[in-house]
Amino acid sequence: MKSKVNRRMATNRQKLRLIALLVGALPPLAGCTIASTTKRTLLNEPLLVADENHLNHEFHHLAKAAWRDFEGGCRDGVRHSHAFKDGFIDGFADQLDSGGTVDPPTQAPRRYWLAKHLTPKGNLAIMDWFNGFRQGAEIAQASGLRRQYEVPLFVPNTKFTTDHHPKFSKPSTSNSPDEGDPNLPVLPLPKPTPPSSEAPPMLLPGQIPGGNR
């Protein structure tokens, strides 16, 4: 029995050595592909995930602050449901993250798919979430906060401004709208062809334009 176990362990060790040799031989054969993929997986991706988590945390922090202001401004005696609050925070954060319309998604989050929500009372909670989402998204859109999180894009022949970063903005000396580079030549428009008053000649059977067959 021991001999079988020893042989099995020896076989496993040989397999591990073979795998190690193959792994060690792959980088020279594959060039820089494995090295670059490893760098992207071990270094770049964690940094991107950490940055995304940081932004999500900041969006939800701003959303909760907006909810406190919204709830504080309501009339006395007005109380919103927990589902409405969740929808408000989700809608506010989603607007800062993605922009777009203020419409809620087609389906509520998965936490509202449970059996306890498959009731008339649960359906009302889902509708509260939809209404809260729209309310939060509308307030976020009106606040203009999303502009702080947009990456500026450069468009050729236009004035590149950073008006949402006052520290780096430069005042414009022109009150006219941006019309591109004024030094570029302006090509004349083609003249329209006047309509002809003469009707085209009628062709008899067997004739072609410009001559007879």
pLDDT of 171 strictly over 70: no
Give the residue-averaged pLDDT of 75-94: 90
Of the two residues 98 and 186, the one the predictor is more confident about is 98
pLDDT tens for 16-62 read 666 666 655 555 545 566 666 766 676 677 778 888 888 999 999 99
- Predicted pLDDT at 151: 84
Looking at every residue in the chain, the average pLDDT score rounds to 75
What pLDDT, on a 0 to 100 scale, did the predictor assign at position 178? Answer: 46
DSSP annotation string for the chain: -HHHHHHHHHHHHHHHHHHHHHHHHHHHHHTTHHHHHHHIIIIIHHHHHHHHHHHHHHHHHHHHHHHHHHHHTSPTT----HHHHHHHHHHHHHHHHH-S-SPPPSS--GGGSSGGGSSHHHHHHHHHHHHHHHHHHHHHHHHTGGGGGPPP---TTS----TTSGGG----S--SPP-S-TTSPPPPPPPPPPPPSSPPPPPPTTEETTEE-
Residue 177 predicted with pLDDT over 70: no
Provide the pLDDT for residue 179. 46
Domain ranges of the chain: 56-149
pLDDT range class, residue 92, cuts 50, 70, 90 = very high
Name the residue with higher pLDDT: 64 or 154.
64
Q: Per-residue pLDDT averaged across 75-91, rounded?
A: 88
| pTM of this structure | 0.56
